[in-house]
Chains A and B, each alone.
Chain A
């Protein structure tokens, strides 16, 4: 069996893996990226639309362009890359096995960064009845066909799900000569950014059917049409509201799931959101295994992926140099739980027993979360028992936009203020609960 040794092994060469690799390399480590596709860049290579890198590069780059900036650094920075190589397993002793054109490779590393990204939810995951004809694709797969491989998966489209990929594909397909008969969204509001609704749907008069879903796919060999129906607030179809739409292709843009099969095999605990449980150092429950990017939580901005990944890369580098980075399994931990109106919060736990000199090295204390539904005039708050740890006013929050905040006070004081038996709660509080107080962000 082939063998490789490295300080930091990075699984996945998408934006998270690239940023983590660059950061680990900057900390003086030997770094190896393992990528299953034939080139680096991950999903960015098919996201040819502009709008990436606004925060990081102060520019509106196309996806492949953003990736290229990192690929250039990787290629010139002495970072090793294995493409066409897929990691099959991480054993509980952190032995890594991958398969490539040359056979199975055993990779021995001091630390590992999980950066495998996510995959699309499929038809099975959302249970649409009917035959299984040709012509039902996930939106991301269709995006790859159209933007990289150079062929059109159909001519008359309906898109289920108004996430950003779905709306961007609606415009893309229109530009390539197809007709998009509508975007169908089960929620009463579009689930992607308003900017995409305006520039991808409204600009091309593509109807958006809110509070609707696909109830039937017609056709035996090829899709011949779909039936959509209005739904009530519990997502139950309302009889009598069915509408038939003629089409030959149905695209599904119905959510993304972190891809954590190897994480599970390694024995790391997963959270409710299907990502690994991590602490403030992005360490999983296993010593020396860190996670970042969409494998941890599905992001909406690649800039945020890069920030998270750099942190994971840095801590993996420190760990490989012998620094004892606490895992999210240790005894001195306090849970961070999502409260009212909050879907999830990362990190899942916070280690209290952290050496003072390490606090500085580890960088800022950063939280990210998503709210459950669109809300106006609210506070995002964090508390430990009755003690308020953080509060910020937001005029408008949406589930499609990740909220990120940092602890402004000294991290040492913050940690000392926590109580091991009292979970931290992050929650939404409407502004009108505090009459007489006028505050702006």
Chain B
């Protein structure tokens, strides 16, 4: 079996677990194991390991909404998603629109781009078009 070759073989990672902010050097050795140096605690070790193998983030952005008092509804992924997928998800979300009412926690996109994460609304926005009509008049 051929091991999947990771794209990065060596990386300097600033730890974000605590305010100390250790600079951790991670390197993949020839036998495939990782060498992790510079951390001062176990939590830092774990963080550097995950950050090296597959960095993930919760993505929070906005989606266009119609029939609400504001033009955007804030959203986020309900699970961390691979960092390298963020741009793709942002592009996808830039091109969709939802309609009020939306409740905080509603799933607006299931399994975004086939990932194990949904896009959920983080604000409740009821139907409210009064302001816009007033503007048009």
| A, B bound | yes
Binding site for B on A (CB under 8 A): 38, 45, 48-50, 60-65, 68, 71, 147-150, 175, 193-195, 197-199, 202-203, 395-398, 401
Contact A50 B58 (CB under 8 A): yes
Within 8 Å CB of B113, what residues of A?
Answer: none
Contact A148 B21 (CB under 8 A): no
Within 8 Å CB of B86, what residues of A?
Answer: 175
Within 8 Å CB of A71, what residues of B?
Answer: 124
Contact A64 B58 (CB under 8 A): no
Contact B123 A65 (CB under 8 A): yes
Contact A150 B64 (CB under 8 A): yes
Q: For residue A41, which residue of chain B has the nearest CB?
A: B123
Cα distance, A149 to B90, chains bound together (Å): 18
Within 8 Å CB of A194, what residues of B?
Answer: 14, 16, 19, 21
- Whether B82 sits at the interface, judged by CB under 8 Å, is no
Contact B16 A199 (CB under 8 A): yes
Within 8 Å CB of B72, what residues of A?
Answer: 147-150
Contact A65 B58 (CB under 8 A): no
Nearest 7 CB-CB pairs, A to B?
A: A48-B74, A64-B123, A62-B122, A150-B71, A195-B16, A194-B21, A65-B122
Cα distance, A138 to B105, chains bound together (Å): 30
Within 8 Å CB of A63, what residues of B?
Answer: 74, 122
- The prevalent SS among residues of A at the interface is helix
Within 8 Å CB of A60, what residues of B?
Answer: 58
Contact A48 B64 (CB under 8 A): no
Cα distance, A49 to B62, chains bound together (Å): 10
- Whether B27 sits at the interface, judged by CB under 8 Å, is no
Contact A149 B70 (CB under 8 A): yes
Contact of B57 among A148, A199, A395, A397 (CB under 8 A): A199
Instruction: Report the number of A-B residue pairs with Cβ-Cβ less than 8 Å.
Output: 70
Contact A148 B70 (CB under 8 A): yes
Within 8 Å CB of B64, what residues of A?
Answer: 150
Cα distance, A243 to B97, chains bound together (Å): 42
Sample of 5 more A-B contacts, CB < 8 Å, known A48-B74, A68-B104: A60-B58, A65-B104, A147-B74, A396-B19, A397-B19
Contact B60 A49 (CB under 8 A): yes
- Whether B28 sits at the interface, judged by CB under 8 Å, is no
- Contact size range, B: 20 to 34
Q: For residue B62, which residue of chain A has the nearest CB?
A: A147
Within 8 Å CB of A49, what residues of B?
Answer: 60
Known interface pairs A149-B71, A202-B14, A203-B83. Does A398 touch B61 (Cβ–Cβ under 8 Å)? no
Cα distance, A149 to B76, chains bound together (Å): 18
Contact of B60 among A62, A397, A401 (CB under 8 A): A62
Contact A62 B19 (CB under 8 A): no
Interface centre among A64, A71, A195, A198 (most CB of B within 10 A): A64
19 A-B pairs within 8 Å (CB atoms) are namely A38-B69, A45-B123, A49-B60, A50-B60, A60-B58, A61-B122, A62-B60, A63-B122, A64-B74, A68-B104, A148-B70, A150-B64, A150-B70, A175-B86, A193-B19, A198-B14, A202-B14, A395-B20, A396-B20
Contact B76 A50 (CB under 8 A): yes
Within 8 Å CB of B71, what residues of A?
Answer: 149-150
Within 8 Å CB of B124, what residues of A?
Answer: 68, 71
Within 8 Å CB of A61, what residues of B?
Answer: 122
Cα distance, A203 to B82, chains bound together (Å): 13
Cα distance, A395 to B17, chains bound together (Å): 14
Cα distance, A65 to B122, chains bound together (Å): 5
Cα distance, A199 to B58, chains bound together (Å): 11
Cα distance, A398 to B104, chains bound together (Å): 35
Interface centre among A38, A65, A202 (most CB of B within 10 A): A65
Within 8 Å CB of B122, what residues of A?
Answer: 48, 61-65, 68
Q: For residue B105, which residue of chain A has the nearest CB?
A: A65
Q: For residue B19, which residue of chain A has the nearest CB?
A: A396
Within 8 Å CB of A62, what residues of B?
Answer: 60, 74, 76, 122
B91-128 CB mask vs A (1 if < 8 Å, else 0) is 00000000000001100000000000000001110000
Within 8 Å CB of A64, what residues of B?
Answer: 74, 104, 122-123
Within 8 Å CB of B60, what residues of A?
Answer: 48-50, 62
Cα distance, A195 to B63, chains bound together (Å): 25
B16-54 CB mask vs A (1 if < 8 Å, else 0) is 101111000000000000000000000000000000000
